[in-house]
Amino acid sequence: MDCIKVHDKTFVPFIDNAQISKAIDKVAEQINHDYANCDSAPILVCVLNGSVVFTGELMQRLNFPCELTCLRIKSYEGTQSTGVTKQVLGLNRDITGKQIIVIEDIVDTGHTIEFLHNTLLSLGASDVKICTLLLKPEVYDRDIKLDYVAMEIPNRFILGFGLDYDELGRNSKDIYVLQD
């Protein structure tokens, strides 16, 4: 893995694709166990745009019937969270009485997760579980339980494997961290 330049920033190798794949295998195993005897197909809610790569990889490892829908949320500008969560593109279906698994690329402060969790319950979901590829535990400050966490990372700005810097860098199969 070589360094990459995106816009005006240089990013250095951080997590290679083999490590990411192993972490997704582990999370899928946990989810498969929890939903093995599920009576109805849960709905996976892919949080666009960042989690599309993770959602695709995770879905291929799930061995129970599930549905998929997408929701677009935005809380970042540049390399910083704005602290304000904006729903950009809403759900395209009724979720009343449905079990939901929210699929996120990264959880840092938890503002977005809290917003999603509360919104989905208010729309009638019977249960909302949270699955994230990455968690920054040192800055997570919400009471919402994270049910499935593939990897914990320090509070650094990263890109790749779906994560971006001003919309670029998502297509890297590895994850990079902003060079100090």
Does the pTM surpass 0.85? The reply is yes
pLDDT (tens digit per residue) in 80-98: 555 665 665 678 788 999 9
Class of 42-74+84-155 in CATH: alpha beta
Please state, as a whole number, how many other Cβ atoms lie within 10 Å of the Cβ of residue 91: 16
The set of catalytic residues is 108
Residue 93 has a pLDDT of 82
User: Which of the 8 DSSP states describes residue 54?
Assistant: H
Q: Is the pLDDT of residue 171 over 70?
A: yes
Residue type, 2: D
* Per-residue pLDDT tens over the stretch 122-151: 999 999 999 999 999 999 999 999 999 999
The token pair at 96 is: 């009343």
pLDDT tens digit string along 25-78?
999 999 999 999 888 999 999 999 899 999 999 999 999 999 999 998 765 555
Amino acid symbol at 173: K
